[in-house]
Chain A
Amino acid sequence: MGLENIYLGFQQALTYQNLFFAVVGITLGTIIGVLPGLGGANGVAILLPLTLRMPPTSAIILLTSLYWGALFGGAITSVLFNIPGEPWSVATTFDGYPLARQGKSGQALTGAFTSSFVGALFATVLITLFAPLLADVALRFGPPEIFSIQLLTFSAFVGLGGGNPLKTVVSIMIGFILAAVGLDIVTGQLRMTFGITGLMQGFDFIIAVIGLFGIGEIMLSVEEGLSFKGVQSKMNLRVVLDTWKILPSYWRTFVRSCLIGFWMGFKPGGATPASFMSYSFAKRFSKNPQQFGKGELEGVIAPETAAHAAGVSAMLPMITLGIPGSPTAAVMLGGLIIWGLQPGPLLFTEKPDFVWGLIASMYTGNIIGVLMVLAFVPFFAAILRIPFAILTPLIVVLCAIGSYAVHNSMLDVWYMLIFGVVGYVFKKLDYPLAPLVLALVLGDMAENALRQSLIMSQGSLTIFLDRPIAGVITAVAFLFFLMPLIGPWWRRLRGLPVAEPTAREI
């Protein structure tokens, strides 16, 4: 079993250099998580060019730590300012902010950070156990299996993503079409360039991430007119220790939220629905549900545990199958390719030091993370007091730098601005952005898998149903695709009320 592997991993993760990168990553990530307008995905995207000259293991540790930091950071603004810094911390505001208003911000923050840590640790242990097994299975996958998994990925967005499923489909198609622009490597033909040289290089998804999430998000937040009115944080060692004493009594909530988080995060769709689902389950099973929304600690624990477990488990399909579960994981996947690594199950046999270093760093990164955020809450909260007339241009400049650095091309910076406007409009009209980005990342891979499968079967689509593994996955994918049609009908049949519109992931 993997004991010697994880030992090898810790040897990688515990070098001074990599611990240093973990600390830097978590600090930057927490800042990014606190700032509205900068999220995990575009934080990682902006930093990606800086990692070009680093050893891959250090680079991935820096980027994943940034991601953990962003997950922690979202909780700070939710509790102290009633502003969710990230979509998955919306549910944390329901009880976190009331607690802070009652002067129990220390308790709420300690609860939030500790449950984040528990969720992350749980998901990391499961990744340690299951990743090698899944990679083993995935090694036997051919093109039809790979294509059916892609189908499953996107069907999950349509069936489970909430919002208007048709708009989700359109977003996916836009992503795939953008991915197809430029040179077709199989036939050597130029596609959809219409003789324009600028289109020949195609669209890089890192630019899309920075534009859609970075610039688009800023436009949305200035539109709402930013004004931060925060509650002072009251953190000291006594509060932390007192909260830790009562937390074990919530073990049921922890276990339930961990499982929900892992299950939701493993499939694409991710952290945000997991946090909402976990919150409503906690409320349903609670002895005093009427306290929820008025400042119940359990209402902070449940969404935070689930969001963090989901955030970590989104890494599992990324490292084992080469298919990212979230936009942030997608950017990291792009990083692997830039560093010269081939994402997918072969990583486990060819680059064990990289994979296990990454897994071990999930343990160290989260331990360092929880200690750092507990110690430096006032510092991170102070960041929100930076006037937004400084913050807004600063974020725009950082986005421009990040976009330019990818290919040293000014054209990319213009694309970033255009993607920004598109992101703003799409977000307002409820076209989801995450599936668009994933489709843009996976486009070439999906098309190649489809082509190779069709060549294998001489053009017959039944190849996706005939092979046992591909068949099962395709069937589940179709079930998800049909879910928006079956769902209302099923509810009517059982006399349940029609589902209320669910919150949309990112």
Chain B
Amino acid sequence: MRTADFVTASILMALGGVVLFDAIRLGIGWGTDGPRSGFFPFWLAVIMMTTCAVILLQTFRRESRETFVTREQLGSVLKVIWPATAMVLLTHFIGLYIAAAVYIGFYMRWVGRHSWTSVVAVAVAIPFVTFVIFELWFLVPMPKGPLENWLGY
């Protein structure tokens, strides 16, 4: 927990530094007709970096035996993140609906160990229903791939 707290506060501090740098480039003082572009970000960065510094001090002084995340927990969280990332990546090539079908099917089979019948049924039904609701009823276009093109959408 302490390490995680420490790392997060340090990253935020570094981000504050980046903002500060950019604000100074833009000008933090008074322009021809009021404060310049960097004025507001400059003070935001100053406040953020000061607060992060105090948080870092607090973290140093405080003992903590809690772990941020156990190996087991991290495992199940990663099981959510990487298939989701893969789905978003796939969307670029084969469109959202097919990517969603593959993703739902994969997750159901891999994590839930559902039978192939229910995997196929759910993986086809959910994208189909969302297609009807978003594309046909509400006319909100989603990224589409070869299959939708072939079907004429």
Contact = CB atoms under 8 A, between A and B. Distances in A.
A69 B39 CA distance: 43
A433 to B, nearest CB: 14
A426 B93 CA distance: 32
B58 A184 contact: no
Contacts of B38: 191
Given A177-B45, A180-B44, A394 B126 contact: yes
A425 interface: yes
Interface secondary structure of B, over-half rule: helix
- A400, A421, A431: most-surrounded residue (chain B CB, <10 A): A400
Interface stretch (A249-257, A303-311, A321-329, A408-416): A408-416
B30 interface: yes
A291 B62 CA distance: 38
Nearest to B113: A389
Contacts of B130: 397-398, 401
A170 B12 contact: yes
B142 A447 contact: no
Interface stretch (A116-124, A332-340, A451-459, A466-474): A451-459
B149 to A, nearest CB: 17
A246 interface: no
Given A397-B126, A408-B141, A192 B22 contact: yes
A173 interface: yes
Interface in B87-117: 87-88, 91-92, 96, 100, 103-104, 107-108, 111-114
Given A176-B44, A222-B79, A417-B88, A390 B33 contact: no
B109 to A, nearest CB: 9
A401 B58 contact: no
B88 A218 contact: no
B103 A397 contact: yes
A53 interface: yes
A429 interface: yes
Contact of A459 (B22, B30, B51): B30
A426 B141 CA distance: 33
B55 interface: yes
- A177, A189, A410, A447: most-surrounded residue (chain B CB, <10 A): A177
Contacts of A173: 16, 44-45, 47-48, 51
Interface in B122-141: 122, 126-127, 130, 133-134, 138-141
Interface in A177-218: 177, 180, 184, 186-187, 189, 191-192, 194, 215, 218
Nearest to B46: A173
A170 B44 CA distance: 9
Contacts of A166: 51, 54-55, 58
Interface string A117-138: 0000000000000000000000
A483 B22 CA distance: 33
Interface in A150-178: 164, 166-167, 169-170, 173-174, 176-177
Interface string B28-62: 00110111111111001101100110110010000
Given A192-B19, A400-B87, A421-B81, A52 B12 contact: no
Interface in A266-300: none
Given A166-B54, A408-B141, A410-B143, A451 B35 contact: yes
B80 A219 contact: yes
Contacts of A53: 138-139
- A50, A166, A194, A424: most-surrounded residue (chain B CB, <10 A): A166
Given A180-B41, A192-B41, A428-B4, 16 more contacts: A166-B51, A166-B54, A166-B55, A169-B51, A170-B51, A176-B44, A189-B26, A218-B80, A222-B77, A389-B114, A393-B84, A414-B88, A417-B88, A450-B40, A451-B34, A451-B40
9 contacts: A53-B139, A192-B22, A219-B77, A222-B77, A393-B108, A397-B100, A405-B140, A410-B143, A426-B8
Interface of A: 49-50, 52-53, 164, 166-167, 169-170, 173-174, 176-177, 180, 184, 186-187, 189, 191-192, 194, 215, 218-219, 222-223, 225, 387-390, 392-394, 396-398, 400-401, 404-405, 408, 410, 413-414, 417, 420-421, 424-426, 428-429, 431, 447, 450-451, 454-455, 459
Interface of B: 1, 4-5, 8, 12, 15-16, 18-19, 22, 26, 30-31, 33-41, 44-45, 47-48, 51-52, 54-55, 58, 68-69, 73, 76-77, 79-81, 83-85, 87-88, 91-92, 96, 100, 103-104, 107-108, 111-114, 122, 126-127, 130, 133-134, 138-143
